[in-house]
Structures are given as C-alpha cells and as structure tokens.
Amino acid sequence: MKKTLNPVSSLGALALFALNFAPLAALAQTTAPALSAPAASAPALKPVYNEQADARADLNLALNAANAQHKNVLVVFGANWCGDCRALDRKMGEGQLAAHVAKRLVVLKVDVGRFNRNTDLAAQMGVSLKKGIPAVAVLKNDGEVLRATNGGELADARNMGDEAVLRVLEGLHSKP
C-alpha cells in the first residue's frame, strides 16, 4: 500500500507545531542581545596626489610661485596607493621637516599612478623611479634641476626618522 500525505492533516500538524513553538520564538526575539550593526568600512584615505592633474602645468605654477618667493621647487613623484609616499607627505607637513620645507621649498606632488603617468617628466628631471617611490627632484626657480634621487633614498620613508629625511632634502637642494 502506497502512503500519501493528507494535505489537511499536514497543515494541521504544521499549525500545531507553530502554536507550540511560537512563544519560544517570541521569547528568543525579546531576550536575545541586540546585534550591533556591521562595522563600517574604514574611511577612504584622502588623496595626497591629484590623479587628474596636468603635471607640466602645475610645474609651471610651482616655478612661478618659487620665483616670486625666492625658493627652490621640490618635485615629489609618488602615488596615493604608496604607503611611503603618504608617510613622506605626512612627515613634511609637521614639525622640523615642515619648517624646513616651508622656509626653502615650494612643493609639487606629481602622481605616477602605477608607473604609467608622468614618468616622462621624472626622466626629464633625471629622477629614476626604478628603485621606488617617493622619488624627488629639486629645481631652481628657473627650472634648472639641482639634484634628484636615483637610488631609492626616500623609498622607505615610513621607516625613516625626520632627521634622515631632512638629510636627504638638505643634500638635494645644496649646490652640486
């Protein structure tokens, strides 16, 4: 003999189950600790390098500003994804390094993307990006390159102290 389920009796059993366990479900909902909302993702970091900038036009503006202020131009090649580039930017914005930079240099930050942007400008200034970024060049206010990093001198900026960064910068804007 073939067994079949009686839809009416199956519904009755389901109703009986719901009546017996509904109070437990309600109790669980009222006594369960509230779950916290999922943690928001970390806020996006503020870009240090303008990825849409026209680096050559910005260089002309920096040279004009440097000429008016009787300073040199520090061109910093880097990228927003680069932790050492962000660390250098942070270091140059505070303390002894900030005072040194503000007194002697007009800073221009040039985005190199994933080494697919503005590399021609870096090469024109004699800056090698092969040993890492950030990489920098110091220009006189007439555009003449004084010196540039070529050996990854700042590529470990996050682990460098302010004094070490200052020594690199001082060495770059002294006359060769």
Rounded to an integer, the average pLDDT of 171-175 is 75
Q: Which helix (H) or strand (E) holds 147?
A: strand 145-148
Distance CA 117, CA 122 (A): 10
- What is the pTM assigned to this prediction? 0.74
The predicted pLDDT at position 42 comes to 58
79-91: pLDDT as tens digits: 999 999 999 999 9
Rounded to an integer, the average pLDDT of 69-88 is 97
**Which tokens belong to 114?**
């994933």
Indicate if the pLDDT at residue 36 is higher than 50.
Answer: no
Distance CA 38, CA 35 (A): 9
Residue ranges of the domains in the chain?
A: 55-173
Level-2 CATH architecture, domain 55-173: 3-Layer(aba) Sandwich (3.40)
Burial 90-100 (b: 16+ CB within 10 A, else e): ebbeeeebeeb
The predicted pLDDT at position 168 comes to 94
What band does 93 get if pLDDT is binned at 50, 70 and 90?
very high
